[in-house]
């Protein structure tokens, strides 16, 4: 049974985190307005799962390492595991997940995943730290998957909301292909005009929009000219945007890693976006969410 949710906060922002998956369930501004998904079960009951040890789906829900196949659910297993709260204050909490017999059956590596949430004024800083406690090099990827309210509680119609990237994003994007959850081999034209994306529910009828040639390391989500969210992701080179069409959220998903491409049959070291972590090394991935006034 999971522990009780842990809350942290300041006068300007508060967060509630579920130790099951170290998942951010709620983010509210100083007036108590909810900035995340309503988790309506008609669409999707998730909130902000952590993606580890792999991002996306492995073909056939298995991956190959040293001639053997291992089972791996979409986006990995961290979101289904209870994390321990190892440090805690009024403004910050750190959760920890370490390898055990169950994880080693699917992922034969001695890892540590620390997930820190800290509120500084109107900013929530999230930092995932992946460590290799074993003797062999460790293959892994990592990603965030938070679902922000669409519309945000600051006025303006659903249709008026925009994703404003830091920079122009003219490069083609990727989409999900014929094999469910896997990446199509061909690219698609960018829906971004300059640095602005005007999302519609219809855009997501074919699943996520994926940027693997991203120029930006941050964006704005909301109605231009109104209070919204500044989202920064300096350590993750790729980005997914996703929703179930018609739902009341938009997932802004910074990724260091990606699902297998359609038809992939290679070893784990050939998976796109796989990183190599040597013995005793750590790698951090940060995502900041700031309420910015219009």
Percent of the chain with pLDDT strictly greater than 90: 99
Q: Is the pLDDT of residue 28 over 50?
A: yes
- Could you tell me the domains of the chain? 6-292 (2.70.98.10)
Q: Is the pLDDT of residue 261 over 50?
A: yes
**pLDDT value, residue 274:** 97
**pLDDT value, residue 160:** 98
Average pLDDT over the chain, rounded to an integer: 97
pLDDT digits (tens, 9 = 90+) for 79-110: 999 999 999 999 999 999 999 999 999 999 99
Higher pLDDT, 106 or 1: 106
**pLDDT value, residue 294:** 81
Q: Find residue 188's DSSP bridge partners.
A: 173
8 A C-beta contact, residue 7 and residue 14: yes
Calpha distance 57→46 (Å, rounded): 17
Calpha distance 61→49 (Å, rounded): 18
Query: What are the tokens at 131?
Result: 């460590």
Calpha distance 288→229 (Å, rounded): 10
Bin 178: left if φ > 0, else alpha if -120 < ψ < 50, else beta: alpha
The confidence band for 17, taking pLDDT boundaries of 50, 70 and 90, is: very high
**HEC-encoded secondary structure of 101-149:** HHHHHHCCCCEEEEEEEEEECCEEEEEEEEEECCCCCEEECEECCCEEE
**pLDDT value, residue 73:** 96
The confidence band for 46, taking pLDDT boundaries of 50, 70 and 90, is: very high
Give the position of tokens 């005007």: 198
User: Could you give the dihedral angle defined by the CA atoms of residues 53, 59, 62 and 65, in that order, rounded to the nearest 10 degrees?
Assistant: -80
Whole-model pTM? 0.97
Q: Is the pLDDT of residue 3 over 80?
A: no
Upper half-sphere CA count for residue 286 (Cβ side, 13 Å):
11
8 A C-beta contact, residue 210 and residue 183: yes
pLDDT digits (tens, 9 = 90+) for 105-160: 999 999 999 999 999 999 999 999 999 999 999 999 999 999 999 999 999 999 99
Q: What is the mean pLDDT of residues 31-59?
A: 97
**pLDDT value, residue 1:** 41
Q: Is the pLDDT of residue 174 over 90?
A: yes
């Amino acid at each position: 049974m999971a522990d009780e949710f842990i809350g942290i906060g300041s006068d300007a922002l508060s967060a509630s985190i579920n130790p099951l998956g170290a998942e951010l369930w709620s983010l509210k501004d100083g007036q108590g307005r909810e900035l995340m998904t309503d988790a309506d079960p008609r669409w999707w009951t998730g909130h902000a799962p952590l993606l580890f040890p792999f991002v996306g789906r492995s073909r056939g829900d298995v991956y190959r390492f040293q001639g053997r196949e291992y089972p791996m659910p979409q986006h990995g297993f961290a979101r289904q595991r209870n994390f321990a709260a190892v440090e805690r204050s009024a403004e910050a909490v750190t959760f920890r997940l370490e390898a055990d017999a169950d994880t080693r059956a699917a992922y034969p590596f001695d890892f540590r995943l620390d997930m820190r949430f800290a509120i500084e004024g109107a900013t929530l800083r999230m930092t995932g730290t992946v460590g290799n406690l074993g003797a062999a090099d460790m293959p892994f990827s990592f990603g965030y998957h938070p679902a922000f309210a669409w519309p945000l509680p600051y006025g303006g119609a659903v249709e008026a909301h925009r994703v404003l990237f830091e920079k122009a994003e003219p490069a083609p994007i990727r989409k999900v292909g014929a094999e469910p959850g896997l990446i199509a081999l061909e690219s698609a034209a960018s829906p971004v005009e300059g640095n602005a994306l005007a999302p519609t529910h219809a855009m997501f009828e074919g699943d996520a929009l994926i940027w693997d040639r991203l120029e930006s390391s941050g964006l704005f989500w909301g109605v231009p000219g109104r209070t919204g969210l500044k989202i920064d992701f300096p350590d993750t080179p790729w980005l997914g945007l996703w929703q179930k069409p018609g739902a009341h959220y938009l997932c802004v998903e910074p990724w260091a890693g990606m699902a297998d491409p359609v038809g992939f049959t290679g070893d784990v070291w050939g998976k796109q976006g796989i990183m190599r972590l040597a013995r005793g090394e750590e790698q951090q991935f940060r995502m900041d969410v700031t309420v910015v006034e219009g």
